Amino acid sequence: MINKIVASAEDAVKDIPSGATLAVGGFGLCGIPENLIAALLKTGVKDLTCFSNNAGVDDFGLGLLLANKQIRKMISSYVGENAEFERQYLSGELEVELTPQGTLAERMRAGGAGIRAFYTPTGAGTEIAKGKLTKVFDGTECILEMGIVTDFSLVKASKGDRLGNLVYEKTARNFNPNVATCGRITIAEVEEIVEVGSLSPEDIHTPGIYVDRLVLGLKYEKRIEKIVTRKD
């Protein structure tokens, strides 16, 4: 019987070695695999290369791994909410590769689909294009972007079954589906584990074929990245 459920987040990440490449789901602080990140923090592995939309904030999300000097390089599209990220980058402690958001999502999707590379007009003629092959299609200059395939992927879903089928909740269905496909080993944490067959096939966002390990998240902190208030 196929059963991808593991006992704990610690068990799920214990074989991630120093120097590994990771794709991590989430958008801002929404849909991040916070239990898996916390477990990875405890292992103390170093020199990680992380592909993620952002690096969390100073005391939450991937920001925890940054503060503990566990990340060597970040490939991201938005990094503006993390002061420690800025400090490490400006001091030369952290390598950074900025990638347009749509390009990053497509690079992950392409890697998961077995597409080695693709051409896009996004970033042509800018700093993003430096060192990349270019080609003109129908009069539009495009740059060649490589598909992303990582050693491990960490994702967060609302529900999952023992086969690894996943359903994401609303905005948490952001980078997670693409991240889930591009890891050689994909580890998913879920808020609820349900019986096989209880998820309607048309409601499944990530089929279990992409998921190798499933863990029930024990605690979630509903953080708000930025609060803006006004007087009426």
- Tell me what pLDDT residue 221 has: 78
- Would you give the DSSP letter of residue 148? P
CA 38/CA 40 separation, integer angstroms: 5
pLDDT band at 116 (very low <50, low <70, confident <90, very high): very high
Alpha carbon 180 to chain centroid, angstroms: 8
Tokens read off for 201? 């096939």
Question: Tens digit of pLDDT for each residue in 63-75?
Answer: 999 999 999 999 9
**Going by DSSP bridges, is the β-strand pair 117-120/134-137 parallel, antiparallel, or unpaired?**
unpaired
Rounded CA-CA distance 89/69 in Å is 12
Look at residue 25 in the predicted model and tell me its pLDDT.
97
> Regarding predicted confidence, which is higher, 201 or 59?
201
Domain boundaries, the chain: 9-114+147-216
Phi, psi (5° rounding) for residue 161? Answer: -115, 175
pLDDT for 232 = 67
How far apart are the C-alpha atoms of 126 and 166, rounded to whole Å? 38
Q: Is 83 exposed, middle or buried (0-12, 13-18, 19+ CB in 10 A)?
A: exposed
In CATH terms, the fold of domain 9-114+147-216 is: Glutaconate Coenzyme A-transferase (3.40.1080)
pLDDT at 112: 97
- CA-based torsion, 63, 110, 118, 105: positive or negative: negative
- Which whole-number Å values give the CA distances from 101 to 44, 52, 94, 95, 138, in the listed order? 29, 10, 20, 18, 24
Q: Which of 21-25, 47-51, 79-83, 182-186 has the lowest mean pLDDT?
A: 79-83
Per-residue pLDDT averaged across 103-129, rounded? 97
Q: Could you give the CA distance from residue 148 to residue 152 in angstroms, rounded to a whole number?
A: 11
* pTM given for the model: 0.93
Which band of pLDDT confidence, cut at 50, 70 and 90, is reported for residue 110?
very high
Q: pLDDT tens for residues 167-222?
A: 999 999 999 999 999 999 999 999 999 999 999 999 999 999 999 999 999 888 77
Is 22 a residue whose pLDDT tops 70? Answer: yes
What are the angstrom distances between the C-alpha of 153 and each of 2, 127, 224, 229, 231? Answer: 20, 28, 24, 36, 43
Report whether 109 contacts 181 (CB < 8 A).
yes
State how far the Cα of 90 lies from the Cα of 95, in Å rounded to an integer: 10
Percent of the chain with pLDDT over 70: 99
Average pLDDT over all residues of the chain: 94
pLDDT in tens, 130-161: 999 999 999 999 999 999 999 999 999 999 99
Query: How long, in residues, is the chain?
Result: 232
Q: Report the pLDDT value the prediction gives residue 39, as an integer from 0 to 100.
A: 97
pLDDT at 114: 97
Q: How far apart are CA 37 and CA 93, in angstroms?
A: 21
Give residue 56's pLDDT.
87
